[in-house]
């Protein structure tokens, strides 16, 4: 997916529409901060997630972090290949590194998430 | 305001990610921890370890002072020899783990960055009535470690010292382009290697020359994964004022028969205390990391706590060090680590996790 069309959370997840579902992953910046990812814990399809609440965990040599759902809904697809090879996340965070697909609750939109420009500004300020 | 080493400008200029560590601003990584780790296991890496405390201890009673505060025996050291040991409190707890260098005239001591002032003050406090001069040379010098199987080749003719001839845990004074220098065959990675001490003003010159010779700059991140695989304790994690050297598995560095020293009486009592937790190695079944503070369980009862853990880049396994009840410390014992609410199976394994392949002669 193209970073320009995606929306972002302050906790470094990205979200983008694809065939009526919202695809979720973590940003290149997050991947660079983590480096050396060794483990990822993802939910099983069918699980409900709530915007702003953890849906999984990601662990690098340095630290372990929660993954936060950018939107509320039901998990309908999970990228299990990441569990066997978490390095795919760092290799291609916006493509092969996608994590889950969510069917959003009725009325949910990505509008309250950050745009790429807003997200980049946040990173610059934090850095 | 954290201290900066003489190499700080180089680290920043070359994009190192800097962190505060023990009152110093230090590079945690330049590329990735795993890449730097592999460089040390397969070739050679260099580390800025200028944050480590460097004390010089001289005068007629330097020997007596060291025998009083150091758990290992200084009497059997030859000139040029380096020895690992502990500095204990009266209760036998570890105040620091240090290296003592014996010179023709006097001694030097390398202490942990976070314990530098504490140990300096401790030495001053225990030299009453003695003729000893203690100098803290940390800020005026720079310390660089070269680690990895290619270290000897890389350090050849770097100074006028014959580094290949230098025995493990020996040191010599030498000359680096006109500047006085100390090189020791020591390290904290489980690989062959050398540690150099030069005047701070020559630090960058030494560092960049080592890079030109093919060494990869490595940060504290790789230093931690390397020492963990080699099962070397880290002060503040495996060693504290409450833990004694026997619990930590460091009895080889305690010479109870060398004569009296601070902590000896307590250590005689603690040595065979069956109630004290022991340091063990854990290997986890999964890929999750058992981090410091995570609890260790057996049959629904907590039996210990993790002090350090990582995903070991060389072994490709999740490993940890922990203190556990002595009856759970036997290799092969199945245990469980509570990783953020998940019960992760683990097994006690012999230490070290990693031992470098023996070099075959010729």
Q: According to the model, what pLDDT value does residue A1 have?
A: 85
> Which pLDDT does position A35 carry in this prediction?
86
Is B27's Cβ below 8 Å from some Cβ in A?
Answer: no
The Cα diameter of chain B in Å comes to 64
Task: Report pLDDT for B360.
Answer: 56
Domain-located, residue A54: yes
Question: Residue A42 domain-assigned?
Answer: yes
What pLDDT is stored for residue B220 in this prediction?
A: 98
**How many Cα atoms occupy the beta-carbon half-sphere of B138 within 13 Å?**
25
Q: Do B286 and A62 touch (CB under 8 A)?
A: no
| Residues in chain B with pLDDT values less than 50 | 362
pLDDT of residue B47: 98
- Rounded CA-CA distance B324/B295 in Å is 10
Taking the Cβ of residue B288 and every Cβ of chain A, the question of whether any pair is shorter than 8 Å is answered with yes
- Tell me, what's the pLDDT at B318? 97
Task: Report d(CA A94, CA A96) in Å as an integer.
Answer: 7
Q: Say yes or no for a CB contact (<8 Å) between A57 and B340.
A: yes
- Model pLDDT, residue A125: 86
For residue range B41-67, list pLDDT tens digits in order: 999 999 999 999 999 999 999 999 999
Tally of domains within chain A: 1
Output the pLDDT for position B359.
67
**pLDDT given for residue A86 in this prediction:** 92
CA proximity to B232, closest of B247, B215, B246, B249: B249
Q: What counts of helices (H) and strands (E) characterise chain B?
A: 8, 20
- CATH number of the structural domain spanning residue A59: 2.40.50.100
Q: Give the three-state DSSP class for B288.
A: coil
On whether residue A112 sits in a domain, the answer given is: yes
- Cα(B110)–Cα(B114) distance, rounded to whole angstroms? 12
Q: What average pLDDT values come out for chain A (127 residues) when binned by 10 residues?
A: 94 96 97 92 97 96 94 98 93 97 95 96 84
Q: Which strands sit side by side in the sheet containing B179-184, from one edge to the other? A: B171-176, B179-184, B193-199, B141-147, B45-48, B216-218
Q: Which domain holds residue A11?
A: 3-121
Residues in A closer than 8 angstroms to B225, CB to CB, are 61
Q: What DSSP letter does each residue of B289-322 carry, written as one string? A: ---TT-EEEETTEEEEEEEEEEEETTTTEEEEEE
The predicted structure's pLDDT at residue B362: 44
Residue A126 placed within a domain: no
Judge: B288–A36 Cβ closer than 8 Å, yes or no: no
Are A35 and B311 within 8 A, CB to CB? no
Flag whether A40 is in a domain. Answer: yes
- On whether residue A61 sits in a domain, the answer given is yes
Indicate whether A127 belongs to any domain: no
**Chain B interface includes A53 (CB < 8 A):** no
Assess if residue A110 is contained within a domain: yes
């Amino acid at each position: 997916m193209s970073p320009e069309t995606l929306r972002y959370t302050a906790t470094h997840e990205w979200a983008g529409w694809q065939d009526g579902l919202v695809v979720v992953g973590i940003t290149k910046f997050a991947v660079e901060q983590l480096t050396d990812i060794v483990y990822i814990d993802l939910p099983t399809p069918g699980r409900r997630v709530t915007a702003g609440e953890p849906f999984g965990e990601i662990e690098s040599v340095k630290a372990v972090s929660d993954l936060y759902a950018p939107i509320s809904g039901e998990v309908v697809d999970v990228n299990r290949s990441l569990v066997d090879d978490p390095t795919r996340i760092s290799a291609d965070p916006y493509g092969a590194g996608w994590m889950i697909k969510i069917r959003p609750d009725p009325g949910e939109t990505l509008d309250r998430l950050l745009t790429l420009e807003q997200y980049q500004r946040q990173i610059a300020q934090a850095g | 305001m954290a201290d900066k080493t003489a190499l700080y400008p180089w680290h920043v200029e070359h994009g190192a990610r800097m962190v505060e560590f023990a009152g110093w601003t230090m590079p945690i990584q330049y590329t990735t921890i795993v890449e730097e780790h592999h460089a040390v296991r397969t070739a050679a890496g260099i580390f800025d370890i200028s944050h480590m405390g460097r004390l010089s201890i001289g005068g007629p009673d330097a020997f007596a002072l060291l025998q009083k505060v150091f758990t290992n025996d200084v009497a059997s050291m030859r000139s040029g020899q380096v020895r690992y040991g502990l500095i204990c409190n009266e209760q036998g707890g570890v105040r620091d783990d240090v290296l003592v260098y014996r010179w023709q005239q006097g001694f030097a001591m390398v202490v942990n960055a976070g314990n530098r002032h504490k140990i300096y003050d401790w030495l001053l406090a225990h030299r009453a009535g003695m003729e000893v001069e203690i100098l803290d040379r940390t800020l005026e010098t720079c310390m660089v470690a070269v680690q990895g199987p290619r270290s000897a080749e890389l350090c050849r003719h770097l100074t006028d010292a014959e580094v290949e001839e230098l025995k493990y845990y020996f040191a010599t004074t030498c000359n680096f382009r006109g500047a006085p220098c100390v090189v020791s065959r020591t390290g904290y990675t489980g690989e062959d290697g050398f540690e150099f001490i030069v005047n701070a003003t020559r630090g960058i010159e030494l560092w960049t020359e080592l890079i030109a010779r093919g060494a990869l700059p490595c940060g504290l991140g790789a230093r931690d994964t390397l020492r963990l695989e080699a099962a070397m304790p880290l002060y503040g994690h495996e060693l504290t004022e409450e833990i004694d050297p026997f619990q930590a598995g460091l009895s080889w560095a305690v010479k109870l028969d060398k004569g009296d020293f601070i902590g000896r009486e307590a250590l005689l009592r603690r040595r065979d205390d069956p109630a004290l937790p022991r340091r063990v190695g854990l290997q986890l079944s999964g890929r999750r990391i058992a981090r410091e503070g995570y609890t260790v369980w057996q049959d629904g009862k907590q039996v210990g706590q993790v002090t350090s853990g990582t995903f070991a880049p060389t072994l490709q396994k999740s490993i940890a060090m922990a203190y556990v009840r002595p009856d759970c410390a036997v290799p092969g014992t199945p245990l469980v680590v509570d990783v953020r609410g998940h019960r992760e199976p683990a097994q006690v394994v012999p230490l070290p996790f990693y031992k470098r392949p023996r070099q075959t002669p010729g």
